[in-house]
Each structure stands twice: as C-alpha cells, then as structure tokens.
A = this chain, B = another copy of it.
Amino acid sequence: MINHLAIVGATGAVGQEACRILEQRSTPYGQLTLVASERSAGTRLRVNGEDLEVQELTEKSFAGVDFAIFSAGGGRSRQFAPIAVGAGCIVIDNSSAFRMDPEVPLVVPEVNPGDLKSHNGIIANPNCSTIVMNVAIWPLHRTNPVQRIVVSTYQAASGAGAAAMEELRSQTADFLAGRPVEPKVFPHPVAFNLFSHNTPIDQGGYNTEERKMIDETRKIFHEPTMAITATCVRVPVLRAHSESINLTFERPITPDEVREVLSSAPGVTIVDDTKTNTFPMPLAASGKDDILVGRIRQDASQPDGRGIEMFVCGDQLRKGAALNAIQILEALTA
C-alpha cells in the first residue's frame, strides 16, 4: 500500500515517464507529490486527472512520504536520499549514486527481486543499458551459465535527458537547413553522427557507462567475476537503446533453445522474423514495456556451439528507467 508517493525530478524525462506509467498501470497510491529543483518548481502537471504543482526539493520534502522515486541526478540523490530515509521514506533511486554500495540492493525485478528484502531504505535502479541487457540475458544464464558477454550499444539521446533529446531534434533541423550545428548538451554533434559515450574514461580505457554495464550486471546476477566487456556508443535515436550482444555459454546451446527460454521469459518479446527482415528497432521498442530480442543465431566464430549472437532494443526511459523503478515500487508494496 502506497500512502504518499513522491517523484523527485518530476519534470525530467524519466520523471515524466514515471507519471505516465503510474497512469497506465493504475498503480494505486493515496497521494502523489511531484518534486523538482528550484528551476522547475511551480510548474503544473496533470497526473491521473489531478492538477499538481511541482514542489521545490528541500530537506522538508519528505514529511509523511512513504515512497520516493528519485531521478534528479546523482548529486541530489546523494544529498537528499538519506534525508528522505531519515524521514521514514523508502527511496528508489534512479541515479548511479548508491548502485555499487554493498548495503544497497540493485534490482531488476525480473532478475533479482529477492534482493529487495535486504534494503536499508534505499533501493538502486540500475543503469538503463544494464537493465536492457540483463532482462534478455538472465533467463538464459539461469539455464546455461553465461561465461562471457561482449556487448556494443547503440544508445538513444534520452539517456542524457530531455534537453539531449531536444538537442538531437534541433541540431538535426539545423543540419538539414544548412545552419551551423552547435553542440551544447553533448560534447560532439549528434545529428547524423554517433560517438563514444561521453563519460570519463578510466585507467583501463573503459568509460563510466561501460563500467556500469560490467559492474552492475555482476552485482545483479550475483556473479562478481563474470567476464564482460562493453562498448557504449551514442546514436542519433530519440528514446530506445539497442545492444548487439555476443554470448559464450558454459555448455553448447542452440538458437532454438534460446528462443524457447526467451519465449516464456518475463519482460521479453521475441522479434525475429528472418523472412521479412523484421528485428528489434528502437522505434518499435519506444513506448513498449518489454525488451525486444532478435537476430538470435549461433555464433559462427565459436565452433564448439557455445556462442550465441543476439540484438536487443528497450525503451530507455521506460524499462531502462521509470518502469523498472515502478516495478520495484510495486514489488515492495505487493
């Protein structure tokens, strides 16, 4: 039972999506409070037929609030999530602030719902690319352990927020009109271009997004040494992430076995029509709850039959962020 739910970062891309999902799923709650930074406070938003004024995020925002979904950046989560917990609120945090904290469960409800039991007030929502990959791989891993993952991503602008989506639109219009393109949100032009994910590169040469995919998957799967490598790339797509995934299993596995497992896996829709060349596409995944999985085939480079290739797409704002958070909320209150 949710008496009083707060959405922190309600005017952002993920916060807005969370409001839409609450409506669509008819998630029951007593009271809803929308919270955002000073800049957006005062905005009025309509959720479930109710006209709500967005409140400014302060230390007093959580009085009487029993659940809060935070999606306002790592800095605000680090500052305000402990305050919310102190006020008796359970926080589902969409930022990376607490994800690798051993005291904080990091949960994809289709994968490790049992980890929810051990929370101390904060539950972390994984990185969007991690969620999209984990929903597709976990059911396979359970039947035949995955020994190595090689993933390359095709990530939408939505991962960098609403302003990044608008930059993709406006920059593309500028490009088509022959006007100069001026990157502001992204460090490089995004219109008709793509670039390595714009997060810092560590000593090992991996960027932060790639490390998240590696470290978070290991934590969610309870496989602390799983061999994973990732290459994360931004593409000029608005809101769904795609991933080309190469897997090595412990034992030989066939594409038909993969299809059989995934056909009954929660949160997965197989889109794999080789006759019409219809496979997962970000436009088709946008607005969908499920992760689309296709191009399922035996990896020709692993002659021992232990290799599988597949291509997946998932709505970054939805299952990659807001929906996963609301699924956690629903699991906590079930």
B189, B296, B300: the one contacting A228 at CB < 8 Å is: B300
Asked whether any CB of chain B lies closer than 8 Å to the CB of A60, the reply is: no
Which interface class (under 10, 10 to 19, 20 to 34, 35 or more) fits A? Answer: 35 or more
Which of A152, A279, A295, A298 lies at the interface centre, i.e. has the most chain B CB atoms within 10 A of its CB? Answer: A152
The proximity string for A residues 206-241 relative to B, scoring 1 for CB distances below 8 Å and 0 otherwise, is: 110000001000000000000111010101111000
Number of copies: 2
Q: Name which of A24-32, A190-198, A314-322 contacts chain B.
A: A190-198
B188, B196, B199, B275: the one contacting A294 at CB < 8 Å is: B196
Neighbouring B residues of A76 by C-beta, 8 Å: none
Q: How far is the CB of A140 from chain B (nearest CB, A)?
A: 16
**Interface residues in A286-316 (C-beta closer than 8 Å to B):** 294-303, 307, 309, 311
Neighbouring B residues of A195 by C-beta, 8 Å: 279, 281
Contact B205 A274 (CB under 8 A): yes
Asked whether any CB of chain B lies closer than 8 Å to the CB of A134, the reply is: no
The proximity string for A residues 75-117 relative to B, scoring 1 for CB distances below 8 Å and 0 otherwise, is: 0000000000000000000000000000000000000000000
Contact B277 A204 (CB under 8 A): no
Contact B311 A205 (CB under 8 A): no
